[in-house]
Amino acid sequence: MNPFDITDRVAVVTGGYGVIGSVLGRGLAAAGVRVAVLGRRSDAANAEAEAIRASGADALALVADATDMDQLRAAREEVLSAWGRVDILINAAGGNVSRARSDTISVFEIPPDAFDEVLRLNLHGTVLPTMAFAEQMAKQGRGPSGRISPMAAVRALSGVMGYSVAKAGIDNFTRWLATDMARRHGDAVRINAIAPGFFITTQNRNVLVAGDGGHTDRARKILSQTPMGRFGRPEELVGAVHWLCSDAASFVTGAVIPIDGGFSVFSGV
Ligand SMILES: NC(=O)c1ccc[n+]([C@@H]2O[C@H](COP(=O)([O-])OP(=O)(O)OC[C@H]3O[C@@H](n4cnc5c(N)ncnc54)[C@H](OP(=O)(O)O)[C@@H]3O)[C@@H](O)[C@H]2O)c1
């Protein structure tokens, strides 16, 4: 038996047509996983599912807002009627909300509703899908079991207070739910996170890439604090996620795995 074999498992990927969600979904599909691409836009979710099917894997599109429990439960029923089970949830929906940033204003001027929006997208947008799909994993019990990997950020980054608060909440939620699930269900439902460093994607391109295609000041600061001296490539997240979703990680729960070229361990000196 190959402990890394995840063939035929069923994964739901929220933000499944975003840059990181798409790479993770396609990475799992290449390993034989059936992938449900969950997102708010039907055209984009269908296009991503079609691209996965074109590679020879099984995929379906689920239209739901990651912050709407009724829509998430309906999406769960769709997966169950198609494939009968859910083994893996990847929470990749999220991102910054420009109105909630304080790069050019004081933190005291952030509109309260912008703070609500960034918190809702990143924190509720991870907790609610987890509630909807982990409930099914807990019901399934032993056998191919559930793994959930929310993204998390643990260090203070200037300008993005709400985003940081939300990601810190996800970090705590990972540890909290991992403990609860392990006490109730042993190794059947494991909860882990990856903490990506900096990857140039849709959500941050405008703050990292200057008009002339070069790096912004912020990008240069990030690179100077990243011992490997470069941004990550989304494909570099796939290996850790595959491992977390496989039986090779059967005793791993509550872990937050940094994938960041050394950013989180560098003192800056
Ligand atoms: N890029 C990085 O350096 C980095 C580093 C650490 C962590 N992360 C985290 O990784 C995750 C993915 O980021 P990314 O870089 O791949 O960004 P991205 O390309 O912008 O993808 C984000 C995805 O989330 C979806 N989404 C937003 N609001 C949603 C909602 N309410 N319901 C369902 N889906 C929603 C977006 O869909 P729509 O297009 O329909 O809005 C999009 O597909 C985010 O949580 C981000 O914070 C990124």
Single-letter amino acid code for the residue at 217: D
Is CATH 3.40.50.300 the classification given to domain 10-197+233-259? no
Which range among 80-94, 110-124, 128-142, 239-253 shows the weakest confidence by mean pLDDT?
128-142
The pLDDT value given to residue 153: 42
Cα-Cα end-to-end distance for the chain = 46
The C-alpha atoms of residue 165 and residue 107 are separated, in whole angstroms, by 13
Q: What is the DSSP letter of 263?
A: G
236 C-alpha to center of ligand 1: Å?
17
User: CA quadruple 73, 79, 81, 85: dihedral positive or negative?
Assistant: negative
Question: pLDDT band at residue 61, thresholds of 50, 70 and 90?
Answer: very high
201 pLDDT more than 60: yes
Predicted TM-score of the model (pTM): 0.95
> Mean of the per-residue pLDDT values for the chain?
92
Alpha carbon nearest to ligand 1 atom 37, residue: 15
Q: What is the mean pLDDT of residues 7-31?
A: 96
Nearest atom in ligand 1 to the alpha carbon of residue 93 is 24
203 C-alpha to center of ligand 1: Å?
7
Q: What is the mean pLDDT of residues 21-27?
A: 96
The pLDDT value given to residue 118: 96
Which run of H or of E encompasses 38? strand 34-39
pLDDT digits 0-9 by tens, 77-100:
999 999 999 999 999 999 889 999
The pLDDT value given to residue 56: 97
19 C-alpha to center of ligand 1: Å?
7
Q: What is the mean pLDDT of residues 1-27?
A: 95
Which range among 20-29, 54-63, 145-154, 180-189 shows the weakest confidence by mean pLDDT?
145-154
pLDDT digits 0-9 by tens, 130-181:
999 999 999 997 544 555 554 434 455 667 899 999 989 998 999 999 999 9
* Binding site membership of 92 for ligand 1 (Cβ less than 6 Å): yes
The C-alpha atoms of residue 119 and residue 259 are separated, in whole angstroms, by 23
Name the β-bridge partners of 12. 36, 89
Q: Indicate which residue of 115, 163, 199, 231 is catalytic.
A: 163
* Domain ranges, ordered by start, for the chain: 10-197+233-259, 202-231
Query: Is 17 an annotated catalytic residue?
Result: no
The pLDDT value given to residue 151: 42
Q: What proportion of the chain, given as a percentage, has pLDDT over 90?
A: 84
* In contact, 47 and 57? CB cutoff 8 Å: no
